[in-house]
Amino acid sequence: MLDVSRVQKELVEIKRDEKLSGVSIEISEGDLTRMRGTIGGPHGTPYEGGVFIVDIQLPSAYPFEPPKMQFVTKVWHPNISSQNGAICLDILKDQWSPALTLKTALLSLQALLSTPEPDDPQDAVVAQQYLRDYATFMGTARYWTESFAKRGALGIKEKLVKLVEMGFSEDTARVALENCGGDENAALEKLCGG
Amino acid sequence: MMEGRSRVLCKFFMHGACLKGVDCQFSHNWSDQSSQVCTFYQRGLCSYGARCRYEHVKVSRLTQPLATPVPVPRHLPAAISLTSTVDSSSRATVIAKPSLAHLKDAWQQNSTESLANGVSAISLGEADEPEALSNDPSDRPICAFAAAGNCPLGESCRNIHGDLCTTCGKHCLHPYRPLDRENHKIQCERNKKNLEALLKSQDIECSICLERVLSKPTVAERKFGLMSGCDHPFCVGCIRGWRSGSHAPGMDIDTVVRACPVCRVPTHYVVPSVVWYFSPEEKEEIINGYKNKLGEVDCRHFDYGNGTCPFGTSCFYKHAFKDGTLEEVKLRHLGAADGNTVIVKNVRLSDFLKL
């Protein structure tokens, strides 16, 4: 049986210092066992500035069994599968302890991003690149962060292209989007109205 | 009121139904005191202990009030006829009819052995009125009303109004029973200490369910699990659930499951306790108390010598045979080639047979 009251306490605790810790969680509606965690890319790493989304599934025996976590956002990292986002981290497997929480697990993931362990890899290709050609690894990791983990920036570009395709000039479309805080529909209304 | 009766109030009559009616040996008079003394305690074995509803007092103090009820069937007829009131002697013959031989014995005893005995019986029988009981103040019980703060009878109360106990704030120290006073004080101190420990334990949270252990919904859940290896608090239910539950494959029993979830220090056993501790001595006291309590319970695995206990010499439960003798443990030591000594566990023939 899932310990509902413990999960709720954890969620409150995460919410309390969301800004300071750089990790947050939102639950899917009506289902306490399914959540999405977000991790801010740590400073001084190729993941800096990115926001990484983690799919979290709580087993019914939680907290006596570890939560199942997997990256939804694509990440280039020796301990994270570049194919499906599977994570290789001991505390999510055989070193789990019921005193750990969702917050500490997410913080551990954040720490994993800043300290890769290429000797115990999840993705052999990435690990090999990390060990043999560190510069290329850094470049790829940074590029993947730019492409997949900065959805906000990418979104604006896509929306701009959309608006330009509708027949508005690029400059006016950008101004409208900026004024509406990136909201595509509000920008369209503004453009049509004005 | 029959003189043939004891002056101890019949407990069946007290509860409203004595089947013996007028033939009852015990008193059916409300002014008589009931025997609130635990006879098992006097014989040295009351299994209710402190929870017993009867008074636990030593034999010496009771000799007076309790002298009569036991020897009643043999002695009373004799004693009564000696008092020679017509009414009671006729009554005595009625009672004595079934056991005439005994009556004779009693007569002979009284007359031949010592007349003084008989006389003392008479004097006891006549002088020992309820008022006489209260002559010795140490025989009078504490007044419960006064102990609680207010006795409606005031000065005229038959029971003793106790002195104030500074610990519990009740007037419940018997002025004439020094032993009881001491016992009460010790008990009171212990209660106070327990209460304080309980209050301090209120805020302690379990690191697994993240709730206050003493605020859990059911009483059974409001117990700490003390770790023998470290000082991290858990509910006993949570920590036992973690240690005995199913675990992910690859989890190491000794370094992960049997370790403290917070600090990962290995812990061999978990001790349940209703209060948390705040010093190593208190922890020791709780653990020793627990071990002593378990040591009184017979081990299920050992089963009076019929079974084998997997915990062997480290078992907390009692390993005793049916006749009460304790198991003698002979450890077999083997000197290994490197000079170290190994303790040999039970060796079975089947271990050497390859099937």
Q: Which domains does chain A show, CATH number per domain?
A: 4-149 (3.10.110.10), 154-191 (1.10.8)
Name the domain count of chain B: 3
pLDDT at A132: 93
Segment holding A178, helix H or strand E: helix A170-179
Residue B239 confidence (pLDDT) above 50 = yes
Shared domain check, B272 and B243: yes
**Reported confidence tier of residue B4, pLDDT bands at 50, 70, 90:** low
Residue B291 confidence (pLDDT) above 60 = yes
Shared domain check, B270 and B250: yes
pLDDT at A180: 66
pLDDT at A194: 59
**Reported confidence tier of residue B30, pLDDT bands at 50, 70, 90:** confident
Residue B283 located in a structural domain: yes
pLDDT at A181: 57
Residue A164 confidence (pLDDT) above 60 = yes
Nearest residue, CB atoms, B242 vs list A10, A64, A95:
A64
pLDDT at B76: 42
Residue B4 located in a structural domain: yes
Residue B82 located in a structural domain: no
Residue B90 located in a structural domain: no
B87-112 burial string, b = 16+ CB within 10 Å, else e? Answer: ebeebbeebbeeeeeebeebeeebee
Q: Please state whether the peptide bond connecting residue A63 to the residue before it is cis, i.e. omega within 30 degrees of 0.
A: yes
pLDDT at B346: 67
Residues of A in contact with B251 (CB under 8 A): 94-96
**Reported confidence tier of residue B106, pLDDT bands at 50, 70, 90:** very low
Residues of B in contact with A95 (CB under 8 A): 251, 256
**Reported confidence tier of residue B2, pLDDT bands at 50, 70, 90:** very low
Q: For this structure, is A88 an active site residue?
A: yes
Percent of chain B having pLDDT more than 90?
11
Q: Residue A65 and residue B248: Cβ atoms within 8 Å? A: yes
Residue B125 located in a structural domain: no
CA distance A46 to A147: 12
Q: Are B41 and B56 in contact (CB under 8 A)?
A: yes
pLDDT at B206: 92
Residue B161 confidence (pLDDT) above 80 = yes
Segment holding A64, helix H or strand E: none
pLDDT at B314: 82
Q: Are A91 and A63 in contact (CB under 8 A)?
A: no
pLDDT at B322: 86
| Closest listed residue to residue B259, CA positions, set A81, A94, A14, A25 | A94
pTM: 0.59
Segment holding B12, helix H or strand E: helix B11-14
Lowest-confidence segment of A36-40, B191-195, B332-336 by average pLDDT: B332-336
pLDDT at B88: 43
pLDDT at A57: 92
| Closest listed residue to residue A71, CA positions, set A126, A29, A31 | A126
The whole-number average pLDDT for the span B66-94 is 42
The whole-number average pLDDT for the span B237-241 is 91
Residues of A in contact with B258 (CB under 8 A): none
Q: What are phi and psi of A38, to 5 degrees?
A: -125, 140
Lowest-confidence segment of B252-261, B275-284, B287-296, B343-352 by average pLDDT: B343-352
Residue B256 located in a structural domain: yes
Domain boundary among B295, B311, B329: B295
Residue B39 located in a structural domain: yes
Cβ neighbours of B292 (radius 10 Å)? 10
Domain with B51 in it: what CATH number? 4.10.1000
CA distance B290 to chain A (A): 26
pLDDT in tens, B261-286: 999 999 888 999 988 998 899 899 99
Q: What is the ipTM of this complex?
A: 0.70
Shared domain check, B242 and B286: yes
Shared domain check, B344 and B281: no
Q: Domain of B307? A: 297-354
Q: Residue A9 and residue B210: Cβ atoms within 8 Å? A: yes
Shared domain check, B36 and B15: yes
| Closest listed residue to residue B136, CA positions, set B212, B209, B64 | B64
pLDDT at B59: 61
pLDDT in tens, B110-155: 444 444 444 444 444 444 444 444 567 777 788 888 887 788 888 7
Residue B143 located in a structural domain: no
The whole-number average pLDDT for the span B344-350 is 71
Residue B245 confidence (pLDDT) above 80 = no
Q: Residue B256 and residue A9: Cβ atoms within 8 Å? A: no
CA distance B34 to B40: 16
**Interface test mutation site (partner B, options A64, A93, A96, max chain B beta carbons within 10 A):** A64
pLDDT at B354: 67
CA B205 and chain centroid, separation: 33
User: What type of residue is A26?
Assistant: E
The whole-number average pLDDT for the span B198-214 is 89
